[in-house]
Amino acid sequence: MSKSYFMGHYRMGNCTEKRLQTIIWFSTFSTLGVHDVHAGFVSVTGGSGSFVDSSFFLARRSIHPSVAHSRFTQQELPACKPILTPRWVISAFMLVSLVFIPIGVASLFASRDVVEIIDGYETHCIPQEFRNDKVKYIQTPGVKPCIRTMTVPKHMKKPIYVYYQLDNFYQNHRRYVKSRSDVQLRENKSENDVSSCEPEDIANGMPIVPCGLIAWSLFNDTYNFSRNNQPLTVNKKDISWKSDRDHKFGKNVFPKNFQSGKLVGGANLSSSIPLSEQEDLIVWMRTAALPTFRKLYGKIEVDLQKGEVINVTLENNYNTYSFNGKKKLVLSTTSWLGGKNDFLGIAYLTVGGLCLFLAMAFTVVYLIKPRRLGDPSYLSWNRNPGGH
């Protein structure tokens, strides 16, 4: 019986609806027990000069506590009903462009401030006579030194980050990513937990620490920098994430039986340094997202002046030639936004400009062809009797 009361009452309330007041709905909803709310019917008070273009409202009647709780069941909860009026469309686009263009300019300036030197060396560091069989060269044992020079184009403020960049190296391949044992890296007592590390799990009958393909393929080119015959020290401390050093790599886990199989995949690790201090390994084991990636090698803690020539003595040990990979050495400063990437700034400016153009276009359209509500064209979907 109560149901018919509410339905009947609702219907009665409808026809006495005239002008409404626009009230902020959330203040009245919970406290006043508003009765007979007509959420959804919108009317604007005031003339055309009124700034009240809001599209939500409440109607206040007498306060009736027993009715208040049924607003939920009667689907009369107060609501806002945003409608895409021309004003909203133009304002939205203008707002987006007004926000995006300054951010784009700021991002572009930040990116322009960053100085970056990139040197791809995988082809140049193979002596001329071995250019036809690079894989054979890289697999010959012994030191394979290479001298490169880099010129500083602009003043670079410390700290200057040294990265190595690899191309076409799928560190995100599923089987590669799986091939590690996190528990073995953390705890000394879980040394034998190598089940997920195949095929780099056991060598000579003993478990490998750290096991898995990721550790096995550790990058092993080394770089030594000098400027005017003065060596530049590269700080290799704190190049990994603190959480990795503290919680993922154990302080009492030492490399054991590492790279002792027939196939050596990368660098060797000193057995006397615990894993939590093997920062190169920690950086390498945080697998990259895409096939072209950089990893932090170290930091140079001095300024570099414009025009200085940096001599790099590097050891070309890592075999990227089997899979047509590329190796690059990168020196870069950073800004508040990170490294050098014009993309973000340009993208912001593009979208901001596009929105500005759309705002103008819509203003022109709304001025030239103002909307007429009484459009007598018939609804196309109502032409077929009961058809689709």
Partner 1 sequence: MNQIIINLETPEIKVLEKVGEKDAIAKASKESVFRQISEGKAQFTASSSKAFALIIDGKSLQYALDDDMKKLFLELALGCASVICCRSSPKQKALVTRLVKAGTRKTTLAIGDGANDVGMLQEADIGIGISGVEGMQAVMSSDIAIAQFRFLDRLLLVHGHWCYRRISSMICYFFYKNMTFGFTVFLYEAHTSFSAKPAYNDWFLSLYNVVFTSLPVIALGIFDQDVSARFCLKFPLLYQEGVQNVLFSWRRIIGWMFNGLCSAIIIFFLCTNALDPQAFNKDGKIAEFQILGATMYTCLLWVVNCQMALAVGYLNVVQHICIWGGIGFWYLFLLAYGAMPPKISTTAYKVFVEGLALAPSFWVVTFFVVISALIPYFLYNAIQRRFFPTYHGMLQWIGHEGLSDDPKYCKMLNQRSIRSITVGFTALSLGKNQRWES
Kindly state whether residue 343 participates in binding partner 1, applying the rule CB under 8 A.
yes
Kindly state whether residue 335 participates in binding partner 1, applying the rule CB under 8 A.
yes
Please identify which residue in 31, 140, 143, 175 interacts with partner 1, judged by CB under 8 A. 175
Q: Is 217 left (phi over 0), alpha (psi -120 to 50) or beta?
A: alpha
Kindly state whether residue 338 participates in binding partner 1, applying the rule CB under 8 A.
yes
Please work out the total of residues on this chain that contact partner 1, with binding judged by CB under 8 A.
101
Please choose, from the candidates 166, 97, 90, the residue with its C-alpha nearest in 3D space to the C-alpha of residue 329.
Answer: 166
Please choose, from the candidates 34, 39, 83, the residue with its C-alpha nearest in 3D space to the C-alpha of residue 61.
Answer: 34
Q: Is 44 left (phi over 0), alpha (psi -120 to 50) or beta?
A: beta
Measure the CA–CA gap between 53 and 363, rounded to whole angstroms: 18
Question: In sequence order, which residues have a C-beta less than 8 Å from that of residue 102 and are 6 or more positions away?
Answer: none
Please identify which residue in 80, 98, 135, 364 interacts with partner 1, judged by CB under 8 A. 80
Site track for partner 1 across 304-323, x = CB under 8 A: --------------------
What kind and span of H or E run contains 104? helix 86-113
Please identify which residue in 128, 132, 141, 290 interacts with partner 1, judged by CB under 8 A. 290
Q: Which residue has the tokens 């190169």?
A: 280
Nearer to partner 1, 126 or 331 (CB): 331
* Torsions phi, psi for 99 (to 5 deg): -85, -40
Residue 231 CB, nearest distance to partner 1 (Å)? 21
CA atoms within 13 A on the CB side of 383: 5
Kindly state whether residue 51 participates in binding partner 1, applying the rule CB under 8 A.
no
Residue 355 CB, nearest distance to partner 1 (Å)? 7
Kindly state whether residue 367 participates in binding partner 1, applying the rule CB under 8 A.
no
DSSP 287: -
What kind and span of H or E run contains 25? helix 25-31
- Contacting partner 1 within 108-127 (CB under 8 A): 116
Nearer to partner 1, 76 or 259 (CB): 76
Residue 331 CB, nearest distance to partner 1 (Å)? 11
Kindly state whether residue 376 participates in binding partner 1, applying the rule CB under 8 A.
yes
Kindly state whether residue 47 participates in binding partner 1, applying the rule CB under 8 A.
no
- Contacting partner 1 within 176-205 (CB under 8 A): 177, 182-183, 186
Measure the CA–CA gap between 140 and 346, rounded to whole angstroms: 46
Nearer to partner 1, 106 or 202 (CB): 106
DSSP 217: T
Kindly state whether residue 339 participates in binding partner 1, applying the rule CB under 8 A.
yes
Please choose, from the candidates 215, 212, 233, the residue with its C-alpha nearest in 3D space to the C-alpha of residue 223.
Answer: 233
Kindly state whether residue 382 participates in binding partner 1, applying the rule CB under 8 A.
yes
Residue 224 CB, nearest distance to partner 1 (Å)? 20
Residue 222 CB, nearest distance to partner 1 (Å)? 19
